Amino acid sequence: MNAAGLEGQRPALLDGARALGVPLGESQVDRLLAYGALILKWNKVYNLTALRDPAAVLTHHLMDSLAAVPPLTRVRPGETRLLDVGAGAGLPGVVIAILRPDVQVHCLDAVAKKMAFVQQVASELKLPNLRGVHARVESWTGAYDVISSRAFASLPDFFSGSRHLLATDGLWLAMKGKVPQDELTALQAQALGVDVFHVEQLAVPGLDADRCIVWARPAAA
């Protein structure tokens, strides 16, 4: 795996993972750095992300996604089917697939070239639990234990658009910046039958910005 573009970020990755309480094996460190290098490489042609600097890719993408792994593991510690909606370059889905080989991760996006990139990542990094799906969420089928998104859409749109894909006892994991109070208010006003049971603040090492996870499930009938 050629992670030369991000190799200089290895110490920062290790320090950040320790701060998050995420134990990283050597192969996981190599894969994370290789994934960041692939983002930078493919960016030149496919414009996957606005970020072009290795340090920014580490903090804003890899570390930001890594911060979601401990909460996910706390809630779903065993075999899990996860759908990452509006995954783009595969964030946080690819990072979850690297850290949690027991999680079957489907990254879904309506942009074909982004899902071609995720498929390439799965192949190059030898991640059999990762798949890129080119589809719109409304037309996709399946049943997932966790449906995640990272700044994909408003909470009402995310919940209503993906509800048909949630397995029995399934959960939504919505990654946001600041606590989206307006969206939470709109959610109540629209009476979508969604129970937001926890808003979890995240501290992302090296990133001076607000981050949180909005945890939700269908409301009991």
Q: Check pLDDT > 50 for residue 1.
A: no
For 48-87, the pLDDT digits (tens) are 777 678 888 899 999 999 999 999 999 999 999 999 999 9
**What phi and psi, each to the nearest 5 degrees, are found at residue 185?**
-65, -45
In a domain, 157, yes or no: yes
Band of pLDDT at residue 44, cut at 50, 70 and 90: confident
In a domain, 3, yes or no: no
For 139-185, the pLDDT digits (tens) are 999 999 999 999 889 999 999 999 999 999 999 999 999 999 999 99
**What phi and psi, each to the nearest 5 degrees, are found at residue 19?**
-65, -30
Band of pLDDT at residue 208, cut at 50, 70 and 90: very high
Contact 101, 73 (CB under 8 A): no
pTM more than 0.85: yes
**What phi and psi, each to the nearest 5 degrees, are found at residue 178?**
-70, 155
pLDDT of residue 121: 98
Q: How many domains does the chain have?
A: 1
In a domain, 184, yes or no: yes
Which residues constitute the domain of residue 145? 67-218
DSSP 220: P
Number of helices (H), then strands (E), in the chain: 9, 7
In a domain, 39, yes or no: no
Residue 181, burial from CB neighbour count under 10 angstroms (0-12, 13-18, 19+): exposed
pLDDT of residue 220: 85
pLDDT of residue 132: 98
Task: Check which CATH number belongs to the domain holding 114 and give it.
Answer: 3.40.50.150
Helices (H), the chain: 10-20, 26-46, 54-57, 64-66, 69-75, 93-99, 112-124, 155-162, 181-190
Which residues does 56 contact at the CB level (< 8 Å), separation at least 6?
Answer: none
Contact 134, 110 (CB under 8 A): yes
In a domain, 124, yes or no: yes
In a domain, 17, yes or no: no
In a domain, 90, yes or no: yes
In a domain, 26, yes or no: no
